[in-house]
Amino acid sequence: MRKINIARVQETKWVGTNTKDVDGFKLWFSGKSRSRNGVGILVDKVMTIKLVLGGITLNVISAYALQVRLDEEGKRRFWEDLDEVVRGISQTEKLFIGGDFKVT
């Protein structure tokens, strides 16, 4: 089974340009009216891209922590998921972590 990190969506019914939390993913969407179909992109809360550049391996982690509306259990799971991804990267490889870490 494959885990989906990014999915594009069509025929959204939301008006405007905004973001939403949808079942553990962040959704960026854009739509002009409810009668016309909008589009969007769903992105996993923790996603890694591995780049090999001139013999150097760089792991770029993008993380989105929707901490404001999460209970303590949800926050704990987010940090555990991020920790698991980081621990899975070899110490001989470079690591860059970027994201939105709303810790409240």
- State how far the Cα of 69 lies from the Cα of 52, in Å rounded to an integer: 37
Residue 38 shares a structural domain with residue 66: no
More confident residue, 103 or 83: 83
Per-residue pLDDT tens for 83-98? 998 999 999 999 998 8
Q: How many domains does the chain have?
A: 2
pTM for the structure as a whole? 0.59
Segments forming the whole domain that contains residue 1:
1-44
Residue 31 shares a structural domain with residue 61: no
Residue 40 shares a structural domain with residue 54: no
Residue 6 shares a structural domain with residue 17: yes
Per-residue pLDDT tens for 21-68? 777 777 878 888 766 678 887 777 777 888 899 999 999 888 877 666
Under the phi-then-psi rule, with left for phi > 0, alpha for psi from -120 to 50, and beta for the rest, what region is 54?
left
